[in-house]
Amino acid sequence: MITSRLLKRIHIGGTAWLMLSAGYVLVIALRQAGAHWWVVFSLTGLSTIPFFLLLSVYLFAIFRGVTRNQINCEHPLTTSVPYTVFYDICPFLGSLAGFLSSFQISSLSPSAGLCLIAEGALATTFLIWIVIDPLAGVIEFLLPSCAAYRRIRLAKVQADHQQIQQTNQKLLADLEALEKTNQLAWKEALEPAALELAGLLTKPSADIEQLQKHAAECGAMAWQLGGIICMRFMHQLVCGKKRPGGFDYLTIWWDGIGTWRRPPVQELLRIAG
């Protein structure tokens, strides 16, 4: 735990140093090209937002990379602590190499020496992060021992995936069987009331108030028996028992029973039509 936190801090520091070196090299290059300071500051000001955005995304990726749960057997080199430390401090190593090289050049100005230090950080980081690290990953990928561990892990992942699929399929089958059982029980309990209600709905001389009260009682009975699903089931039973045509009064009369809600006006007009 302590090693992981230390590695993250080292890498954040190295990344900050790398960004600072890149910014310094950019400013020096603009000044050598003849750009005035107000041009330099305006360019850096406009690039501040995307710069920090990219920096945040990069640091997040590095944080995930440092704390990734890779299997050491598959990545014996790139997940080792010495390699990770070397990977994290490479911007500082490059700057150190540039600093030592500056002493080998006589009559070197301070700004040129700082530029050499910054360029050393950029060059070393590019070499290690872009060239050497991917090459090391490819070498690990091709090692027979690492490939064997990777095959074992992938086989276990596939077996776990198949187990999850089988569990989901069994759960789905159990739910379907339970739904069929519930529908049989609901049909046995609600079919007489549904048949009676369908007959009353198609009867021209029926008392609307009494019919609405009876329909509400049937809806409440269905709600108590199985909730909104049971109410929809009884609605289908009633619509299947009564003669086709006519207005579907149950969609309105059952409004407020349990979680049943009347459809919008446009839907009612479509049903009536």
Q: Would residue 244 count as lying in a domain?
A: yes
Residue 137 and residue 191 share a domain: no
CA distance 78 to 92: 19
Q: What is the pTM of this model?
A: 0.50
Q: Would residue 154 count as lying in a domain?
A: no
Provide the percentage of residues in the chain whose pLDDT is more than 70.
Answer: 75
Q: Determine which of 165-169, 231-235, 244-248, 262-266 has the lowest per-residue pLDDT on average.
A: 244-248
Provide the percentage of residues in the chain whose pLDDT is more than 90.
Answer: 9
Residue 182 and residue 124 share a domain: no
Residue 158: pLDDT over 60: yes
Residue 116 and residue 201 share a domain: no
Q: Would residue 170 count as lying in a domain?
A: no
Residue 130 and residue 31 share a domain: yes
Q: Which of the given ranges, 92-106, 125-139, 168-182, 244-258, has the highest pLDDT on average?
A: 168-182
CB distance 122 to 22 below 8 Å: yes
Report CA-CA distances (Å) from 91 to 143, 179, 252: 29, 64, 73
Burial class of residue 272 in the structure, from the number of CB atoms within 10 Å of its CB (0-12 exposed, 13-18 middle, 19+ buried):
exposed
Q: Report how many domains make up the chain.
A: 2
Q: Which amino acid is it at 20?
A: L
Q: Which residue stretches of the chain are H helix?
A: 2-32, 37-46, 48-66, 81-102, 110-126, 133-142, 144-201, 208-241, 250-253, 265-272
Two structure tokens written together for 114 = 């700082």
Residue 113 and residue 32 share a domain: yes
Residue 135 and residue 33 share a domain: yes
Residue 141 CA, distance from chain mean position: 28
Ramachandran angles phi, psi of 97, nearest 5°: -65, -40
Residue 47: pLDDT over 50: no
Domain that holds residue 225: 175-272
Q: Would residue 163 count as lying in a domain?
A: no
Residue 113 pLDDT: 80
Residue 53 pLDDT: 45
| Rounded mean pLDDT, 75-100 | 85
Residues 183-241: pLDDT tens digits? 888 888 888 888 888 888 877 766 788 888 888 999 999 999 889 999 998 888 888 76
Residue 272: pLDDT over 70: no
Residue 11 pLDDT: 77
